[in-house]
Amino acid sequence: MLSTLGWVKTELLWISPVVISFFLQLTASDTIGSWSVGSEVDGLWGHFKVYRQDHGGLEQYLIVGKTLKDTVRSYAELVGFPLLVPRWAYGYISGGYKYTAMDEPPAHQVLMEFADKLKEHGIPCFAHQMSSGYSIADTEPKPFLLSSHPDSKKLVDAGGFFKDLGTNKPGYMRLWSAGGGTGDDECHIDFTSAVAFRWWYDGVQSLKRAGIDGMWNDNNEYTLPNDDWQAALDEPTVGEAAKTQNEDKTIGLWSRAMHTELMGKAFHDALLGLEPKYRPFVLTRSATPGTMKYAASTWSGDNMTSWESMKGSNALSLNTGMSLLQCAGHDIGGFEGSQPSPELLLRWIQLENNSVGEVIEPWMYPEITPLVRDAIKRQYEILPYIYSLGLESHLTASSPQRWIGWGYETDPEVWTKTLKLGEEQYWFGDTILVGGVYEPGVSVGKMYLPRKTNSQFDYEYVNMNTPFTYLASGQWVEVPSEWRTSIPLMARIGGAIPVGQSVQTRVPGDGTSASVAVEELDDYRGIEIFPPRSSSHNNVFSTTWLEDDGISSNPSISRYTVRYSSTDDRVVVGFSRDEQSGFVPAWKNLDITLHKRDERRVISDVGNIVQYKGKDSRGRNVYTLRC
């Protein structure tokens, strides 16, 4: 299970239709504490709540905002905004034990065969996670620094491990070794030790030099069994704070969570130190408030192959988003359990589509391989939309994946138990409302369409798939969703989705080794718009998206705005670009794609040339705006 916050308890509290708050508890120690809410009774005062903790300080923050967006931004201002994420991290990422654990044939050959199969099936893929397969061996397994590691004695002598004063030796414990329930004795690295921090830093840089672009921070919960173990506290990051604590260097005081964060910092600083021009990418299994200063991404851990696990992954993503780790994914198809059925695998790819887990390959069921390919290619097609949401996350703390009540807090229905759970539907940006089907053999999805109090249109949503109907807000609807076609997807009337090519592309300015071999240039841009089915009554809808080179640590970000209104027989479109920052994309003109069955003519609001291009592969009318 994902430990998103580690030493923090975060609750979403309902106060009023327009006031949202986070209750944030920060403790000086992550030793076990407990809340008792309403289960204890005082003779005079009745039921009350109490918090108990063995030792350590306690700070509480009440963060209040009129909307959830305001509250999450205030939280980011307190602990730090999400990091910039490389553009490649928003594409399909493969992975699994199978490939890197192989000895015969050798792992590198198996990896190349996997890449060849991707090409054979026409499936774009931005990255591959090496997973932990490299650690499975008869000798010297390395997911931790075990006693069998050749550098173990060196770090023992240098004080790189926690110290047990009772034995005057490192704090030994049983650690996972090579899978299958095996283990060995050793201790987690003490990242408050300057020697240990530097040892890890140097190791990360050696991996980077070998061609590994991102780092995966796994098994980093620091579940140490003894509060009295001593930390070194001589790493400069914590050195000044340590001077104020006299001689108490115990883990109980300084918290295990600090090491989770420092481990992320070691990864982050090592990557940035080697290539300061490029943004580092660190994936972490666990985090504390502030870890997003060093780790850009997380995932749901070792999930199960089941319909319930797929459903629950939505709530996990929404929680990580509010916790500011806003680039989150899952092992598609599950990590543990039997292999997913073709139906479950395709539903999961339609819903999430980020990474594929152990020995679950996109072509494992030939009968659905074309459908899997289409779902992944659609992800690449809307990559400009996805990536813009990532930039927005960094700048404003608004998560790409948002709870159903995000922006609709005054709709009382979003506060009902089913919708508060966050398991069945969510907003993806401001335009796409995503539903799902969470049972086998079911071809209808149930969705709620949230409503704002100042709604101006009878129909505020449109089904992005067959039968492409316009729907009123404030109601539950049943959406046809045959599993070989799509999950339920709604577009908000007035929204827009910038799109590109449905293949892996290279952005101008990205000179990294990972992109040099990418043949296709990111030189096409379109926009899918969803005007009301008749007149917009003089309302002009506007959407701005962001673009940069996808890799720089301090990028120039350009802004592009499309605006449109409609009458019964035409759609009037305007477009402007703000490239004063210095980033200029490879694309020049903009294709305007109308919703299916919208036969109105598109014209420019300022008289620019607009040419009818024809119908696309989905039967939608497309116009090219010369700009």
Residues 6+ apart with CB under 8 A from 46: none
Task: Give residue limits of the domains in the chain.
Answer: 87-136+194-396, 494-626
Residue type, 111: L
Look at residue 252 in the predicted model and tell me its pLDDT.
Answer: 86
Look at residue 303 in the predicted model and tell me its pLDDT.
Answer: 84
Look at residue 18 in the predicted model and tell me its pLDDT.
Answer: 42
Q: Residue 4 gets which letter from DSSP?
A: S
Residue type, 102: M
Q: Are 122 and 373 in contact (CB under 8 A)?
A: yes
Measure the CA–CA gap between 133 and 150, rounded to whole angstroms: 19
What DSSP element (H or E) covers 19? strand 19-27
User: How many CB atoms neighbour CB 219 within 10 A?
Assistant: 14
User: How many CB atoms neighbour CB 612 within 10 A?
Assistant: 11
Q: Residue 365 gets which letter from DSSP?
A: S
Class of domain 87-136+194-396: alpha beta
The tokens for 413 are 């229905």
Ordered mean pLDDT values, 10 residues apiece, the chain (627 residues): 26 38 50 69 74 68 90 94 95 82 84 93 90 53 59 87 91 67 72 94 93 88 90 89 81 88 95 96 90 90 89 93 92 85 92 59 93 95 98 97 96 95 96 96 96 80 96 96 94 97 93 84 98 93 97 96 97 97 96 97 96 96 96
CA distances from residue 502 to 181, 374, 523, 575 in whole angstroms, order as listed: 42, 9, 12, 23
Look at residue 78 in the predicted model and tell me its pLDDT.
Answer: 92
Peptide bond preceding 340 in cis form (omega within 30 of 0): no
Q: Are 87 and 337 in contact (CB under 8 A)?
A: no
Strand partners, 444: 480
User: How many CB atoms neighbour CB 351 within 10 A?
Assistant: 21
- In the chain, DSSP finds a helix count (H) and a strand count (E) of 14, 34
Q: Are 291 and 275 in contact (CB under 8 A)?
A: no
Strand partners, 402: 427
What DSSP element (H or E) covers 601? strand 601-604
Measure the CA–CA gap between 282 and 264, rounded to whole angstroms: 7
Look at residue 56 in the predicted model and tell me its pLDDT.
Answer: 60
Q: Are 120 and 370 in contact (CB under 8 A)?
A: no
Chain mean position to CA 304: 19
CA distances from residue 511 to 383, 485, 586 in whole angstroms, order as listed: 19, 38, 15
User: How many CB atoms neighbour CB 101 within 10 A?
Assistant: 19
Look at residue 616 in the predicted model and tell me its pLDDT.
Answer: 96
The tokens for 570 are 């035409």
Question: 3-state class of 175 per DSSP?
Answer: strand
What DSSP element (H or E) covers 39? strand 33-42
Burial status of residue 290 (CB atoms within 10 A of its CB: 0-12, 13-18, 19 or more): middle
* pTM of structure: 0.90
Closest by Cα among 378, 377, 384, 353 to 527 = 384
Burial status of residue 168 (CB atoms within 10 A of its CB: 0-12, 13-18, 19 or more): exposed
Residue type, 319: N
Look at residue 22 in the predicted model and tell me its pLDDT.
Answer: 54
HEC-encoded secondary structure of 533-589: CCCCCCCCEEEEEEECCCCECCCCCEEEEEEEEECCCEEEEEEEEECCCCCCCCCCC
Q: Are 286 and 3 in contact (CB under 8 A)?
A: yes
Strands (E), 152-272: 163-164, 169-170, 173-176, 183-186, 214-217
The tokens for 62 are 């009440």
Measure the CA–CA gap between 33 and 51, rounded to whole angstroms: 7
Measure the CA–CA gap between 397 and 77, rounded to whole angstroms: 9
Burial status of residue 403 (CB atoms within 10 A of its CB: 0-12, 13-18, 19 or more): buried
- CATH code, residues 494-626: 2.60.40
DSSP letter string, 249-286: -BHHHH-SHHHHHHHHHHHHHHHHHH-TTB--EEEESB
H helices of 382-521, where? 383-396, 417-420, 513-516
Look at residue 94 in the predicted model and tell me its pLDDT.
Answer: 87
Measure the CA–CA gap between 113 and 147, rounded to whole angstroms: 35
Strand partners, 164: 169
Burial status of residue 377 (CB atoms within 10 A of its CB: 0-12, 13-18, 19 or more): middle
Peptide bond preceding 342 in cis form (omega within 30 of 0): no
Q: Longest Cα pair distance anywhere in the chain, in angstroms?
A: 84
What DSSP element (H or E) covers 34? strand 33-42
